[in-house]
């Protein structure tokens, strides 16, 4: 009976270790979309004249992408990176 309880505990621990696997690819895809959108819109704003009447909406979109770009940079190069690496080490 005790061996069965211990085995169930080990199985639950293994399943908890696997939570979040596959999450890295999703984060990378979203990061590439944000960065690509930021530089695409930046290039559009630099090399194309803004359509009349839509400049406010474009500036609003640019502000949202700029803050997203900052969040991506902070995640991959800021304190979240070391926290993420520590979490990976603890899973091992």
pLDDT at residue number 85: 72
- The answer to the question of residue 7 being in a domain is no
Both tokens of residue 87? 């979490």
- The answer to the question of residue 63 being in a domain is yes
Which residue range forms the structural domain that includes residue 46? 24-91
Q: pLDDT per residue over 27-67, tens digit each?
A: 888 999 999 999 999 998 899 888 888 888 889 999 999 99
- The answer to the question of residue 44 being in a domain is yes
- The answer to the question of residue 5 being in a domain is no
Domain count, the chain: 1
pLDDT averaged over the chain?
78
Overall pTM surpassing 0.85 (yes/no): no
pLDDT at residue number 1: 58
- The answer to the question of residue 13 being in a domain is no
pLDDT at residue number 26: 84
Is pLDDT larger for residue 70 or for residue 18?
70
CB 58 within 8 A of CB 41: yes
- The answer to the question of residue 6 being in a domain is no
Q: Where are the alpha helices (DSSP H) in the chain?
A: 2-17, 23-47, 55-77, 79-91
pLDDT at residue number 78: 80
């Amino acid at each position: 009976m005790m061996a069965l309880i211990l085995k169930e505990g080990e199985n639950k621990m293994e399943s908890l270790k696997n939570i979040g696997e596959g999450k890295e690819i999703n984060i990378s895809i979203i990061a590439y979309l944000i960065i690509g959108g930021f530089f695409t819109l930046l290039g559009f704003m630099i090399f194309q004249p803004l359509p009349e009447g839509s400049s406010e909406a474009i500036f609003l979109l640019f502000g949202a992408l700029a803050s997203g770009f900052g969040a991506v940079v902070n995640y991959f190069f800021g304190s979240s990176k070391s926290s993420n690496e520590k979490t990976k080490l603890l899973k091992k």
